[in-house]
A and B are shown apart, each in its own frame.
Chain A
Amino acid sequence: MKIKIAAKILDANEKIAAENRQIFDNNKIFTINLMSSPGAGKTSLLEKTIKYLREKEKVGVIVGDIAGTDDALRINSLGVPVVQINTGGACHLDANMINNALEDIPINDINLLFIENVGNLVCPAEFNLGENIKVMILSLTEGHDKPLKYPLMFQKSSVLILNKIDLKPFLDVSIEKIKVDVTSLNPSIKIFEVSCKTNEGIENWTKWLQTLIS
């Protein structure tokens, strides 16, 4: 016999994401899900952002990687609480992994939580973690064709950080084309141009970020 279900496939993830969000809201924590390809500069952006904000905001970080603790060690050296999730093969974080990691984050003691997702321009976009906003990084070295090749992440993110702009003179990449394509995919996306190497644009981004945290 047939049983009608009519439910979202990722309903189980959505429910846990809603639970996480409740925890964040109850503890007045603003949460950012940070996504990009491997090597686009997620950890570098976090390092720079934390250096600008650590005296003004109480920051915590959850780092997702398939294996290893290199990123967590880099963040840890900045003196902020950090939890490493090793997905052991999974190409994205899901809400349940975050729910478990929250046991090791001092949630009473932070007001800004960064979740560094697994480096991947595809899968993380499908899984809500309970975050307030999705922020993605595209580095100029990846090329201007990426938005139209990987549309979903650009559509689901509220913010696009264009990293490595210091390399622009050496690359045949059109920032203009990136902006035109991304804005067509997602008219309300906010775009920041930064260089984690020279610090260009970092202050702009962190100041804007602070306006979101109450």
Chain B
Amino acid sequence: MHEFSIAESVISTAVEQCKKNGFSRVEKVRISLGSASGVMSEALLFAFDALKKETIAEEAILFIEANPLSGVCMNCLCNFTIYEPYILSCPYCQSNSFKINSGMEMNIIEIEVI
């Protein structure tokens, strides 16, 4: 359900940036979600479409790029990249000593406006 708060944040940032730059409509919004961010894309798309109505983003389409979970294993020193919501051990050597570098992030990349 927190997808609604996240969608609200995406729309308000897009609307604000559109107006600030002197444009009147938001056409596309591109965001990236880490696979371990805890956000469900389908729920976010649903929330975005519900909340965009009666804003200057009401015609906007949301594009979601999925970013993998990536990190480095402290045991075998490999760099790993997986599309999973979490990781318990290195996918190569099964060691549980590893460092996560990315995969939890939620970023707005860009918007397209007219």
Contact = CB atoms under 8 A, between A and B. Distances in A.
A127 interface: yes
A5 B108 contact: yes
B38 A8 contact: no
A7 B108 contact: yes
Interface of B: 1-2, 4-6, 9-10, 12-14, 17-18, 21, 23, 31, 36-39, 85-86, 88-89, 96, 105-114
16 contacts: A2-B113, A3-B112, A5-B13, A6-B108, A6-B109, A6-B110, A10-B9, A11-B9, A12-B12, A94-B5, A151-B36, A152-B37, A152-B85, A155-B36, A155-B86, A184-B88
A34 B73 CA distance: 32
Contacts of A181: 88
Nearest to B14: A5
A92 B5 contact: yes
A90 interface: yes
A212 interface: no
Given A92-B2, A126-B6, 20 more contacts: A2-B110, A2-B113, A4-B110, A5-B110, A5-B111, A6-B107, A7-B107, A8-B106, A9-B9, A9-B10, A9-B106, A10-B6, A90-B5, A91-B1, A94-B5, A122-B38, A126-B2, A126-B39, A152-B86, A184-B96
Contacts of B108: 5-9
A148 interface: yes
Nearest to A185: B86
A63 B39 CA distance: 25
Contacts of A2: 110-113
A182 to B, nearest CB: 11
B88 A9 contact: no
What bracket does the count of chain A residues touching chain B fall in? 20 to 34
Interface string A1-34: 1111111111111000000000000000000000
Nearest to A10: B9
Interface string A106-123: 000000000000001011
A202 interface: no
B21 A3 contact: yes
Nearest to B18: A3
B4 to A, nearest CB: 8
Given A9-B106, A151-B85, A185-B88, A91 B2 contact: yes
Interface string A89-105: 01110100000000000
